[in-house]
Amino acid sequence: MARYIKVAWQDLYRFTIECFVKVGVPISDAELIADHLVLANLRGVDSHGVIRIPYYIEGIRMGYVKAKSEIKIVREGGGTALIDGCGGLGIPVAVRATDIAIDKAKAIGIAAVAVKNLGHVGMLAYYTLRIAKNNLIGLATVNGPPFVAPWGGAQKIFGTNPLSIAFPSHDKPIVIDMATSAIASFKLKLAAMKGEKIPEGIALTKDGKPTTNPEEAYEGILLPFGGYKGYAISLVVEILSAIVSGGALSKYVPRHPSTQGGFFVLAINPMAFRDYSGYLADIKDLIHTIKTCPPAQGFTEVLIPGEPEDRNYSTRIRDGIPIDLETWRILTELAKELGVEPPPTSQ
**Site residues (CB under 8 A) for a copy of itself, limited to 40-69:** none
**Which residue's CB is nearer to a copy of itself, number 69 or number 269?**
269
Q: Is 73 in the site for a copy of itself (CB under 8 A)?
A: no
Q: Is 176 in the site for a copy of itself (CB under 8 A)?
A: yes
Q: Which phi-psi region, left, alpha or beta, contains residue 246 (left: φ > 0; alpha: ψ -120 to 50)?
A: left
Cβ contact 263:114 at 8 Å: yes
**Which residue's CB is nearer to a copy of itself, number 88 or number 230?**
230
Residues 119 and 126: their CA atoms lie apart, in Å, by 15
**CA dihedral for 66, 238, 186, 82, sign (positive or negative):** positive
Residues 121 and 93: their CA atoms lie apart, in Å, by 8
> Closest approach of Cβ 49 to a copy of itself, in Å?
21
**Which residue's CB is nearer to a copy of itself, number 12 or number 178?**
178
Q: Which stretch binds a copy of itself (CB under 8 A): 3-11, 29-37, 58-66, 298-306?
A: 298-306
What are the residues whose beta carbons fall under 8 Å from the beta carbon of 59, sequence distance 6 or more? Answer: 65, 89, 119, 120, 256, 257, 258, 259
Cβ contact 138:237 at 8 Å: no
Q: Which residues 199-218 are close enough to bind a copy of itself by CB under 8 A?
A: 204, 208
Among 23, 86, 190, 290, binds a copy of itself (CB under 8 A): 290
Among 19, 129, 174, 335, binds a copy of itself (CB under 8 A): 174
Q: Is 153 in the site for a copy of itself (CB under 8 A)?
A: yes
How many residues touch a copy of itself under the rule CB under 8 A: the total is 73
Reduce the DSSP state of residue 103 to 3 states and report it. helix
Q: Is 111 in the site for a copy of itself (CB under 8 A)?
A: yes
**Which residue's CB is nearer to a copy of itself, number 246 or number 342?**
246
> Closest approach of Cβ 100 to a copy of itself, in Å?
13
Reduce the DSSP state of residue 235 to 3 states and report it. helix
Q: Is 86 in the site for a copy of itself (CB under 8 A)?
A: no
Q: Is 112 in the site for a copy of itself (CB under 8 A)?
A: yes
Q: Which stretch binds a copy of itself (CB under 8 A): 10-18, 22-30, 86-94, 282-290?
A: 282-290
> Closest approach of Cβ 51 to a copy of itself, in Å?
23
Amino acid (1-letter code) at residue 185: S
Q: Is 2 in the site for a copy of itself (CB under 8 A)?
A: no
Q: Is 137 in the site for a copy of itself (CB under 8 A)?
A: yes
Residues 263 and 158: their CA atoms lie apart, in Å, by 14
Residue 224-263 contact track with a copy of itself, rule CB under 8 A, x = bound: -xxxxxxxxx-xx-xx--xxxxx--x-x------------
Q: Is 114 in the site for a copy of itself (CB under 8 A)?
A: yes
**Residue 185 CA: distances (Å) to CA of 11, 108, 239:** 28, 37, 20
Q: Which stretch binds a copy of itself (CB under 8 A): 29-37, 193-201, 283-291, 322-330?
A: 283-291
Reduce the DSSP state of residue 6 to 3 states and report it. strand
Q: Is 277 in the site for a copy of itself (CB under 8 A)?
A: no
Cβ contact 49:37 at 8 Å: yes
**Which residue's CB is nearer to a copy of itself, number 146 or number 343?**
146
Q: Is 150 in the site for a copy of itself (CB under 8 A)?
A: yes
CA 20 to chain centre: 19
> Closest approach of Cβ 343 to a copy of itself, in Å?
33
> Closest approach of Cβ 126 to a copy of itself, in Å?
17
For 222, half-sphere exposure in the C-beta direction (CA atoms, 13 angstrom radius) is 30
Cβ contact 148:157 at 8 Å: yes
**Which residue's CB is nearer to a copy of itself, number 24 or number 208?**
208
Q: Identify which of 120, 19, 44, 124 has the alpha carbon closest to the alpha carbon of residue 323.
A: 44
Q: How close are the terminal C-alpha atoms of the chain, in Å? A: 10
